[in-house]
Structure 1
Amino acid sequence: MSFTQLLQSGFRPSTKQTDLNTTLADPTHPLRAALDSLHGNCFIADMSLTLVYMNRSARSTVQELAGAVRSAFGMSLDQLLGGSIHRFHKDPARIDRILADPAQLPREAIFGFGGRTLKTQINAITDDAGHRIGFIVLWDDVTARNASADGAFADVKEATDRIELIGGRLLDVAAETSQQADSAAAATEEMRAAVGSISQSSVHVGSQVHDAMAATAEGVQRMEDLQRSSQEIGDFLRLITTVADQTKLLALNATIEAARAGEAGRGFAVVADEVKQLAGTTSSSIGDIESRIDAIQRAAGEAVATLSRISALVDGISESQDTVAAAIEEQSAVTSEIAQSIAHIASGAKETVEQAELLPDASGSVTAETGVLHQIIQQS
Structure 2
Amino acid sequence: MLSFFQKEQEKQPTRTETASAAAENATTLTEADVLESLPNNIILCKPSTGQITYANATSRHTVELMGESFPVTPDALEGASINIFSDGGEDFEAMVGDPAALPFNRVLPLGSEFLELRFNILRDKNGSHERTILSWTRVTERETFKAEAGRLTQMVDKMPINAMMCDPQTGAIVYMNDSSKAALAGLAQHLSVSADAMVGQNLSVFCQELQQQPGLLVDPKKLPFKTKFELGPETIGLSIHAITDDHGGYIGPMATWAIVTAQAQVEAMVSQSSGEVAAETASLADQASMMASIAEQNIGISSKVADASGQATDNVQAVAAATEELANSISQIADQVAHASRISGNASEKADQANTVGQELSEASGKISDVVKLINDIADQTNLLALNATIEAARAGEAGKGFAVVASEVKSLATQTAKATEDISHQVESIQEQSRRMVESITEISEIIREVTAIATEIDGSTNQQGAATQEISRSVDQAAQRTKEVSDSMDEVQQASQKAADVAHAVQQSADRLTEVANGLQHEVSNLLK
- Relative to structure 1, is the Cα distance of residues 282 and 39 closer, same or farther in structure 2, using a 3 angstrom cutoff? same
Distance 1:310 1:276 in 2: 49
2:336 is the counterpart of 1:336: no
Q: Is residue 270 from structure 1 mapped to residue 271 from structure 2 by the alignment?
A: no
Gaps of 5+ in 2: 1-21, 45-52, 61-76, 109-114, 120-132, 164-255, 356-441
Structure 1 residues 316, 166: closer, same or farther in 2, change over 3 A? farther
Q: Which stretch shifts more, 245-254 or 341-350?
A: 245-254
In 2, Cα distance between equivalents of 1:330 and 1:210: 20
Q: Partner amino acid for 1:284?
A: N
CA distance in 2, matches of 1:206, 1:170: 55
Looking at structure 1, the residues matched to 472 and 257 of structure 2 have their Cα atoms a distance apart, in angstroms, of 89
Q: Is the 8 A contact 2:42 2:134 kept in 1?
A: yes
Q: Is the CA contact (8 Å cut-off) linking 1:184 and 1:342 kept in structure 2? A: no
Partner of 1:213: 302
Matched, 1:229 2:314: no
Alpha-carbon offset, residue 297 of structure 1: 0.8
Question: Larger relative contact order (C-alpha < 8 A, sep ≥ 6)?
Answer: 1
Q: Which amino acid aligns with 2:56?
A: N
Deviations 1:179-205 (A, max 9, x none): 564244223213213313422442453
Partner of 1:152: 148
Give the drift of 1:248: 4.2
Distance 1:195 1:188, change over 3 A: same
| Contact preservation (8 Å) 1:119, 1:142 | no
Q: CA RMSD in A?
A: 5.1
- Quickly say closer, same or farther: Cα 1:341–1:63, change in 2 above 3 A: same
Distance 1:114 1:207 in 2: 91
- 1:203-232 Cα offsets, whole Å, 9 max, x none, are 453255335524532552353244223213
Tell me, yes or no, if structure 1 residue 19 matches structure 2 residue 26.
yes
1:241 Cα deviation after fit: 3.0
Contact kept? 1:209, 1:318, Cα under 8 Å: yes
Is the 1:118–1:139 Cα contact (8 Å) retained in structure 2?
Answer: yes
- Cross-structure match for 1:49: none
1:182 aligned residue (271, 290, 312): 271
With normalisation by structure 2, the TM-score equals 0.40
Q: Could you tell me which residue of structure 2 aligns to residue 322 of structure 1?
A: 502
Change (3 A) 1:295 1:170: farther
Task: Report the counterpart of residue 56 of structure 2 in structure 1.
Answer: 55
1:112-160 deviations in Å (ceiling 9; x for gaps): 248673489xxxxxxxxxxxxxxxx995334655442332112222444
Label 1:194 to 1:186 Cα distance change in 2 as closer, same or farther (>3 A).
same
Q: Which has the higher strand share?
A: 2
Give the aligned residue type for 1:55. Answer: N
The 3 A distance-change label for structure 1 pair 337 and 17 is farther
2:116 alignment partner AA: T
Contact between 1:69 and 1:114, CA under 8 Å: does it hold in 2?
A: no
Shift of residue 290, structure 1, vs aligned partner: 0.4
Alignment of 1:1-380 (within 5 A): 19-22=26-29, 35=36, 41-42=41-42, 54-56=55-57, 58=59, 60=77, 62=82, 64-65=84-85, 69-70=92-93, 72-75=95-98, 112-113=105-106, 117-118=116-117, 139-142=135-138, 144-161=140-157, 165=161, 178-179=267-268, 181-207=270-296, 209-210=298-299, 212-214=301-303, 216-221=305-310, 223-248=312-337, 250-251=339-340, 254=343, 258=347, 259=349, 263-264=353-354, 270=449, 273=453, 276-277=456-457, 280=460, 283-284=463-464, 286-291=466-471, 293-294=473-474, 296-297=476-477, 300-301=480-481, 303-304=483-484, 307-308=487-488, 311=491, 314-315=494-495, 318-319=498-499, 321-350=501-530
CA distance in 2 between partners of 1:70 and 1:138 (Å): 12
Percent identity for Structure 1 against Structure 2: 13
Give the helix-richer structure, 1 or 2.
Answer: 1
Q: Is contact 1:227-1:301 (8 Å) kept? A: yes
1:21-42 CA-partner distances (Å, limit 9, x unpaired): 23677xxxxx69x948x98614
Preserved contact between residue 117 and residue 134 of structure 2 (Cα < 8 Å): no
Q: TM-score, length-normalised on structure 1?
A: 0.52
> Is the CA contact 1:181–1:346 (under 8 Å) kept in the aligned structure 2?
yes
CA distance in 1, matches of 2:29, 2:500: 116
Equivalent residues of 2:299, 2:498 under 8 A apart: yes
Quickly say closer, same or farther: Cα 1:250–1:314, change in 2 above 3 A: same
